[in-house]
Structure 1
Amino acid sequence: MNTNLRLRLLSELVGTALLLCIVIGSGIMGVNLSQGNDAIALLANTMATVFGLYVLIELFGPIGGAHFNPVVTATMVLLKRLPKTEFLLYLLAQLAGAALGAWLANVMFGLEPIQTSTKIREGLGIWVGEITATFGLLTVILLSNSQRISSLVAAYIGAAYWFTSSTSFANPAAVFGRMFSDTFAGIAPESSMPFVLAECLGAVLALALFSLMGLAKR
């Protein structure tokens, strides 16, 4: 493995870990401070994620692309912007980072380090919300000017926290990491597979739109 690939994989691992730590940790803090008001907790969760995601993309984008998300990596492979031989390595780095981020958030807030979420998230409306969230995220990524992508992605995710019924996971690695924290941002393992399938479908729809618009070779 060459040095460049090692650096890119390290950036994906660390970036995904920090992203999940931000998402889960801000959810815990929001609940702790909101005195039972879920709207305030979600607002705190949203703001931290928007700011954190922007910073992480700015920092790690020039190194490894700042995917932090298997469907983004798969899309880059399909568009031949990333060698297909690197997909599995990126996936493993992202999943390991997601689990590490959940563990770190749990530890910081004095919770059991290793947990399994019991938060059920299911139903047609929620699955359609997750398809929509992922479709929107991939569309933003594919159509964005590369110099504005960090702000556009962060802004879209912030909006999607509120306009989608699923609160916009839009990321199989995030689903994986959130299974390990039984907190505000968690998701029960039995709810995870439909979320991942919905995310994959949303990505396929975004790619289809990209192709139909004649931009696939841009």
Structure 2
Amino acid sequence: MSFRESLSLGAAPTPANQRAAPRFALLLRAAKLVAPRGAEYLCIVRDVSETGAKLRLFHSLAGVGHLALESATGTRIGLDLVWEHGGEAGFRFVHPIDVQRFIAEAGPYPKRPIRIAVNHPARIVVAGETIPAKLNNLSRQGANLETDHHLAIGQRLRLEAQDLPTFEATVCWRRHPAYGLVFAQIMSLEELALRTFRMQPAA
């Protein structure tokens, strides 16, 4: 099964029902776009219909290829780029969606802040010692990282990496070698989008 087929829902739309589909304003709902090879890009859903959506982008998607839109609850919907201009883009869903279910944010997982997957070298500073680490994902409020160094829940540290400011952080969960961090400061959506874009392989 292809990437697009694995994301499809229902029957393909026709030009007539694309034009007739009513649109619903969602008012700045954060989501992410996922490429077939795993690169992820933060976006904001502006409005949606059963056949497509208008998204606010923070950078161009030129050359990215086929995408899926993933909500805060883990639902993925295959879509194709139709137009892009002035920081906004229009997409057509590969297959029609249940708009009310999308607006209600029904999905396989509880709603949580959008996390953008990365595979990015980093370092943590603990009690004056600098330790290598790898970032697995980033959100506005925190990060998931891996390190061979054993950390304790509640431990405070400093996170440093290229394309990121220095973050003071606290360990909030652990499954060694993976750890969850919560930041003392919060990034804006735009800052998160642009910083993680520079960490993606295609960037």
- What's the TM-score bracket when you normalise by the shorter of the two chains? under 0.3
Task: Using structure 1 for the length normalisation, give the TM-score.
Answer: 0.22
Higher helix share: 1
Higher strand share: 2
Q: Which structure exhibits the higher relative contact order, with contacts defined as CA atoms closer than 8 Å and separated by 6 or more residues?
A: 1
